[in-house]
A and B are shown apart, each in its own frame.
Chain A
Amino acid sequence: MEHIRMPKVEHVRLVDRSSSRRTQVGTLYLTATHTIFVGKGSEDRNDLWVLHSLVCNVVKHKASQSGYPLLIICKNFQVIRFIIPQESDCHDVYISLSRLSRPEKYEELYCFSFNPNVDKAEREHSWDFLDLKAEYSRMGLPNKLWHVNPINREYRVCDTYPADLFVPKSVTLPVIVGSSKFRSRGRFPTLSYYCKENHATICRSSQPLSGFSARCLEDEQMLQAIMKSNPGSRFMYVVDTRPKLNAMANRAAGKGYENEDNYCNIKFQFIGIENIHVMRNSQQKLIEVSALHSPSMGEFLTGLENSDWLRHIKSIMEAGLFISKAVAEEGVSVLVHCSDGWDRTAQVCSVASVLLDPYYRTLKGLMVLIEKDWVSFGHMFSHRCGHLIGEAKEVSPVIDQFLECVWQLMEQFPCAFEYNEKFLISIHIHIYSCHYGNFICNSQKERKDLILCIIKEKAHSVWLHLWEKKLDFMNPLFKPDQSQNQGLLRPSTAPYCFKYWRRLYNRFDRELHPRQSELDCLMTVKEETQKLEEELALYEQKMAVLDKERAKTLYMQKGVLDSKQALWSLPLDTSLANTPQDYIGGAPNLCLFGDQTKSSDADNSDQESGVADFSSHSSGEESLPSEDSVKDPDSDETGPNRA
């Protein structure tokens, strides 16, 4: 609380960028965990709640006639514009928020004060929801060729790896130790995915410390053992996901890549995915494009091109496709690495897994995959997502790119995924919001060592929470038995197959999205179908009873759907037809004669435009789960800090 200089400011205006008519006046509150805006007057108010940990940046703008603008830029790409009447208030809010949104210690993160109404047992249970051991045994491990090696139980060999690691049974401890000494940060080759059908594997590591000529017998033996653990193949691929130039440059620093001459039977391959700094800049440019105020088509497309974002997504997808094809079609094992083996390697391994295994296209499967390839293998979430104040250069949207690859695949294979885009967006929010404890810290060891007690004692796990909300995340078109879900997904990587993810980057610009959502409509229909099935069963049962006991009087229960005969025709957002936009270009209003200003304001209340009102957050199409920044009045979990 000591950081809050100004807990409450009145007469603050919340500005809607797309329409000045939707500006609201209200009161701004700062709590230890949230910024809260309570609009004045409107009956069905939906207050705005912004979690401090979701705030990416706070910016003061030059004073305008109406006051002092303050921008809150969030990590979920929401930009909130307040105008505060007094300069001193604005400054106090700015100073307070700047501090509140940059926690210095893990203990300050929201997940440690977030306190939903569940008891201790339930909280602990939430941490047991996912079990990686079960995941490996689903893959068919351990088996006669692969086993868990206890060598890293104490994180002594590699402190960024998980405790339990699968390596070929034939590999001895000295080989592991030797290999780990020859790899950046000790990240020796270990198993990520095992393909039951043909024994091919995806393994991952960091770069070898080969410099210009160094070699390591144990490392060579390690690769040989991995190759031999796939009895069907005579060679293996080593994929370096970096651009060749970067990898060569690393040699000067005593790092580098495998020399094909030293390792028997490897085929070495570069796949040019750029590094975290390039990706960070690229996303920054993309965000700028997405936030342009009524851009022309040319500005938008040029901006999209100049950001290079889709080019990067394409290269990640191509890498994933290369690996999955090697495994599924050639039956060849692949070792993947980049520099440290926790960014590009994680992306590429998990994209390949989604392509290979239909399980990862189910809700639980995607959770497991993120838990395995990202959380357990030491993707540095706290650094990459900027959870704490720290090195800005460590921040990078690596996981965003993985989620986007999945989204791009969903666009190409609409029936292949059990989940929908809302699921991806929810995961994205949770990764950044620190609402739950899953993505805190940078490695398993850190999580266990430093704050094991607090995480498991105080924080909750997001996976169970998401699982409980799974009805919102279901893809109504999912057909596990359909051809597109059999075996390997083979996406096209032609440039026109990669699209701008509007729902992620412009999620809060509600006027940009389709007014009616096919997804919501189909979900409603499916829900109703289920009720009908139940009702039908009930009636059939009754008919049977009636047939037996014709003579008896029958108590007729009212049909489930009696009151909702028209459910099918109801909630299709038909009233969501928004207000006309600025079609004239430049002029804020069409009212050219100047005598009709009143009428257009009055229009705001009619049926078509009512939706556009800021306060109607929960209406229809944008009913994403509310744990991000906008509070759902029904949910107790986003409430203010009760501590």
Chain B
Amino acid sequence: MEFAELIKTPRVDGVVLRRPFMPTVEGTLCLTGHHLILSSRQDNTEELWLLHANIDSTEKRFVGSLGTIIVKCKDLRVIQLDIPGMEECLNIASSIEALSTLDSVSLMYPFFYRPLFEVIEDGWQSFVPEESFKDLESMTDEWRLSEVNKDFSVCPSYPSLLTVPRDIDDESLCKAASFRHGGRFPVLSYYHKKNGMVIMRAAQPLTGTNGRRCKEDEKLINATLCAGKRGYIIDTRTIAVAQQAKARGGGFEQEANYPQWRRIHKAIERSNVLQDSLIKLVEACNDQSHSMDRWLSKLEASNWQSNVKEILTTACLAAQCIDREGASVLVHGTEGTDSTLQVTSLAQIILDPACRTIRGFEVLIEREWLQAGHPFQQRCAQSAYSNGKLRSEAPVFLLFLDCVWQILRQFPCSFQFNENLLIMLFEHAYASQFGTFLGNCVAERGKLQLSQKTVSLWSWVNRPQELERFLNPLYEPNNLVIWPSVAPQSLLLWEGVFLRWNRSTKCLDEAYQEMVHIIEYNKELQNKVNSLRRQLAQLETEDKMVADLK
């Protein structure tokens, strides 16, 4: 087994673990193929089990023969290990380094993980496209499920089944695919029951510098419009960026060729810029200087909150087109796998109350992110402490979760789930024992045989014991469209993620417990009162019968 070769020193005694806001722990450090374990062998102290995959970067320091390894994790936590002995320290450091940067996906922990719980509902089978299509069919007959991408040859990043306008045949789809970046031709993302308007998503059209056009593509998206109606194309890039894309064969829809569509450009940043933003934000949050000016200027310079605002604004715009203007929308950026998905999925949270339930939110992530081909493996390979050269890492999904959190803060009673669910998804997207976020698209997951060889995150989340942790006690189903405020005053820093390890949460946790208690006590009383009331009513009728008999 190759792991053994990588582990030069499997265990060291007398290691001291230091974490902010927690007592130091002294114990034995063990390295296994997938975990870094620190155990004090005292009954009442917690053991540290850290997935190697969660390690973003490490730093070594030496003072005499005492070595220190600073471990920076993808979930943004920073821990310090003091290791006696220079050789041990070097060995441990290089082992961690090697084990946390394994190239082969099939060596990842999910392929070795055996659940300690009984899988009642297999998450791999929980969300099948046919099911959601059945829902759609009950509302409209304008759409069909196409198998044109059965072998992933038309579009490698799309799933095998796609919802497309009924009147467009597979041949036209293939032609439209050849006109879109990565073969990502326009497909249905969301159907708004209230007025029948739809959100579609795609990648940029390959118009190039000489303004290529594709009749099938035009026909395809026009097929989604009712007679005399017009729609909006939301290009998530600025017009300048979209213009530049022409030089590389990309581009945007020309008005002349799409007269029924009005194009709007927004300015969501590209993924490499977003990664830089995350790195700067986390650096600001970890700044120890205690200076207010420095904090605010670093926060501002990170641009993170600006990115949140821009993404949320674009999603609101899409939702507004659908619900208020009664117009269908096509969303795309360049590749259609990042900003496009942020916009379409957030718009659905705004528009569709079902997406604000736990199950509905899982469906949304499954459909709009996993099956829609967001390249999780690439985007989440490194997090905020990445210091090597970056390939295609970007916190696209984290930004989406942040935006959801912003809406949740503004509508604290409208979501069935709480912040914990969002934080958990962030963690698992970056490092997990489950196979759900491995691979970059459906085709890759199939090749890796994830559904046979790994456990799905949903199998675990949907167990009643786990679900409880994610339930929002204030939830009261709300069937309305919810319009968040995108003003800077209304958007907050997501402390639950970015300051999670930099502060004590004891008081906030107590407040949350108190809130749960208030609501549970109320429900308990309600039940008591109801049952007493019933008893009394029953007694009353009995008494009445007795009286009548007399």
Residues of A within 8 A of B (CB): 290, 294-302, 304-305, 308, 310-311, 314, 412-416, 476-477, 479, 482-484, 492-500, 502, 506, 509, 511-518, 521-522, 525-526, 528-529, 532-533, 535-536, 539-540, 542-543, 546, 550-554, 556, 559, 561, 568-569, 572-575, 577-581, 583-585, 590-593, 596, 599-600, 603, 607-608
Interface string of B505-519 (1 = CB under 8 A from A): 011101100110011
Question: Could you say which residues of chain B place their CB within 8 Å of the CB of A301?
Answer: 296, 299-300, 305, 488
Q: Is B485 an interface residue (CB 8 A)?
A: yes
Contacting chain A: which of B209-217, B317-325, B460-468? Answer: B317-325
Q: Nearest 8 pairs between A and B by C-beta?
A: A300-B488, A495-B295, A414-B511, A305-B296, A301-B300, A311-B292, A297-B306, A532-B525
Whether A580 pairs with B539 at a CB distance below 8 angstroms is no
CB<8 Å pairs between A and B, sample of 15: A294-B487, A301-B305, A415-B507, A415-B514, A492-B504, A516-B413, A518-B412, A522-B474, A529-B521, A532-B529, A546-B536, A553-B544, A554-B540, A574-B413, A590-B324
Q: How distant is the Cα of A591 from the Cα of B324 in the complex, in angstroms?
A: 10
Given A521-B474, A554-B543, A495 and B291 touching (CB < 8 A)? yes
Residue of B nearest to A519 (CB): B412
Closest CB-CB distance, A528 to chain B, in whole Å?
A: 6
Q: Known: A516-B411, A583-B320. Contact between A314 and B292, CB under 8 A?
A: yes
Give the chain B neighbours of A568 by CB distance below 8 A: 522, 526
**Do B518 and A539 touch (CB < 8 A)?**
no
Assess the A559–B533 pair: CB atoms within 8 A. Answer: yes
| B476–A572 CB distance below 8 A | yes
Contacts of A553 in B (CB 8 A): 543-544, 547
> What's the Cα separation between A580 and B488 when bound, in Å?
16
Assuming the contacts A298-B300, A484-B510, A556-B536, asked whether A577 and B324 have C-beta atoms less than 8 A apart, the reply is: no
How far does the Cβ of B501 sit from chain A's closest Cβ, in whole Å?
A: 12
> Which of B101-109, B168-176, B489-497 is near enough to bind chain A?
B489-497
Query: In the bound complex, how far is the Cα of B490 from the Cα of A406, in angstroms?
Result: 21
B219, CB-defined interface residue at 8 Å: no
Nearest Cβ on chain A to B314's Cβ, whole angstroms: 8
Considering the chains assembled together, what is the distance between the CA atoms of A413 and B491 in angstroms? 21
A552 touches B543 (CB 8 A): yes
Judged by DSSP, the binding face of B is helix
Picked from A516, A529, A583, A596, the residue with its CB within 8 Å of the CB of B522 is A529
| Of A298, A499, A511, A514, the contact of B412 (CB 8 Å cutoff) | A514
Contact partners of A497 in chain B: CB under 8 A: 503
Contacting pair A546 B409 (CB below 8 A): no
Complex Cα distance, B528 from A532, in Å, reads 9
Distance in angstroms from A484 CB to nearest chain B CB is: 5
In the complex, what residue of chain A is closest to B495 when comparing beta carbons? A496
Chain A residues near B291 (CB-CB < 8 A): 495
Q: Tell me if B116 counts as interface (CB < 8 A to partner A).
A: no
Max chain B Cβ within 10 angstroms of own Cβ: one of A529, A575, A607: A529
**Does B518 lie within 8 Å of A297, measured CB to CB?**
no
A518 CB contacts on chain B under 8 angstroms:
412-413, 474, 515
B480 lies within 8 A of A415 (CB)? no
> Chain B contacts of A559 at CB under 8 A?
529, 533
Asked whether, in the complex, the Cβ of B518 is within 8 Å of the Cβ of A526, the reply is yes
C-alpha gap A298/B309 in the complex (Å)? 11
State in angstroms the CA–CA spacing of A583 and B343 once bound together: 13
Q: Give, as a whole number of angstroms, the nearest-CB distance from A552 to chain B.
A: 7
Decide: A593 and B262 in contact? CB cutoff 8 A.
yes
CA distance in complex: A550, B262 (Å): 77
The listed residue (A298, A479, A498, A529) touching B514 by CB distance below 8 A is A479
Once bound together, how far apart are the Cα atoms of A511 and B485, in whole Å?
Answer: 7
Provide the residues of chain A in CB contact with B537, threshold 8 Å. 556
A446 to chain B, nearest CB (A): 37
Q: Are B539 and A521 in contact (CB under 8 A)?
A: no
> Is B502 an interface position by the 8 A CB rule?
yes
* Bound Cα distance A561, B526 (Å): 10
Docked Cα-Cα span, A290 to B414, in Å, equals 28
CB-CB under 8 A from A308, the residues of chain B are: 292-293
For B296, B411, B502, B515, which residue has the most chain A Cβ atoms within 10 angstroms?
A: B296
* B486, CB-defined interface residue at 8 Å: yes
CB distance from A269 to the nearest CB of B (A): 18
Distance to closest chain B CB from A368 (angstroms): 25
How many chain B residues touch A (CB < 8 A): the figure is 84
Asked whether B526 lies within 8 Å of A532 as measured between CB atoms, the reply is: yes
Asked whether A498 and B292 contact (CB < 8 A) given A415-B511, A526-B518, A583-B313, the answer is yes
What residue of chain A has the Cβ atom nearest to residue B306's Cβ?
A: A297
Chain A residues with CB under 8 Å of B296's CB are: 301, 304-305, 310, 495
The yes or no answer to B482 lying at the interface (CB within 8 A) is yes
In whole Å, how far is B294's beta carbon from the nearest beta carbon of chain A? Answer: 7
Interface members, chain B 276-306 (any A CB < 8 Å): 285, 290-297, 299-300, 303, 305-306
Chain A residues, Cβ within 8 Å of B230? 593
With A297-B305, A305-B293, A314-B292 already in contact, the answer to whether A525 and B412 are too (CB < 8 A) is no
Query: Smallest distance from the beta carbon of B412 to chain A beta carbons, Å?
Result: 5
Minimum CB–CB distance for A534 against chain B, Å: 10
Residue among B290, B316, B522 facing the most chain A CB atoms (10 A cut-off): B522
With known contacts A477-B511, A574-B414, A539–B489 Cβ distance under 8 A: no
Which chain A residues border B316 with CB–CB below 8 Å? 580-581, 583
B518 near A525 with CB under 8 A, answer yes
Is the CB–CB distance between A484 and B506 below 8 Å?
Answer: yes
**Cβ-closest chain B residue relative to A491:** B507
With a CB–CB cut-off of 8 A, which chain B residues contact A477?
511, 514-515, 518
When the two chains form their complex, are residues A591 and B325 in contact, meaning their CB atoms are under 8 A apart? yes
Cβ of B519 and Cβ of A525 under 8 Å apart?
yes
- A414 in complex: contacting residue of B305, B483, B507, CB < 8 Å: B507
> Within the complex, which residue of A297, A305, A517, A593 is in contact with B309, where a contact is CB–CB below 8 Å?
A297
Residues of A within 8 A of B503 (CB): 492, 494, 497
Select which of B324, B495, B506 is within 8 A of A600 by beta carbon. B324
Q: Does B532 contact A (CB under 8 A)?
A: yes
Q: Contacts A482-B510, A574-B480 given; 16 further ones with Cβ under 8 A?
A: A297-B306, A298-B303, A301-B296, A302-B300, A310-B296, A416-B507, A476-B518, A477-B518, A511-B485, A578-B485, A581-B316, A590-B317, A592-B262, A592-B264, A596-B325, A599-B324
Q: Given A495-B294, A577-B483, A592-B262 in contact, is the A296-B413 Cβ separation under 8 Å?
A: no
The chain A residue with its CB closest to the CB of B487 is A512
User: Could you tell me which residues of chain B, from 17 to 65, have a CB within 8 Å of some CB in chain A?
Assistant: none
**Counting CB contacts under 8 A, is B451 at the interface?**
no
Q: Bound complex: CA of A559 vs CA of B533, how far in Å?
A: 8
Residues of B within 8 A of A492 (CB): 503-504
| Shortest Cβ distance from A518 into B: residue | B412
Residues facing A in B209-234 (CB within 8 A) are 230, 232
| Cα A124 to Cα B535 with chains together (Å) | 52
Residues of A within 8 A of B410 (CB): 514-516
B478 within 8 A of A: yes
Contacts of B324 in A (CB 8 A): 580, 590, 599-600, 603
Instruction: Tell me the minimal C-beta distance from A588 to chain B in angstroms.
Output: 13
Q: A590-B320, A590-B324 are in contact. Are A577 and B300 (CB under 8 A)?
A: no
- Separation of A112 and B326 alpha carbons in the complex (Å): 57
- List the A side residues contacting B547 at CB < 8 Å: 553
The smallest C-beta distance from A537 to any residue of chain B, in angstroms, reads 10
A497 and B295 alpha carbons, distance in the complex (Å): 11
Evaluate contact between B543 and A413: CB separation under 8 angstroms: no
Q: Which residues of B contact A298 (CB under 8 A)?
A: 300, 303, 306
- Chain B, residues 304-344, CB within 8 Å of chain A (1/0): the string is 01101100011011011100111000000000000000000
Distance in Å: Cβ of A278 to nearest Cβ of chain B: 14
- If A301-B300, A415-B510 touch, whether A584 touches B518 (CB-CB below 8 Å) is no
Q: Are A535 and B529 in contact (CB under 8 A)?
A: yes
Complex formed: what's the CA distance from A296 to B536 in Å?
61
On whether the beta carbons of B532 and A543 are closer than 8 Å, the reply is: yes
Shortest CB-to-CB span from B486 to chain A, Å, is 6
Let me know if A515 and B411 touch, CB within 8 A: yes
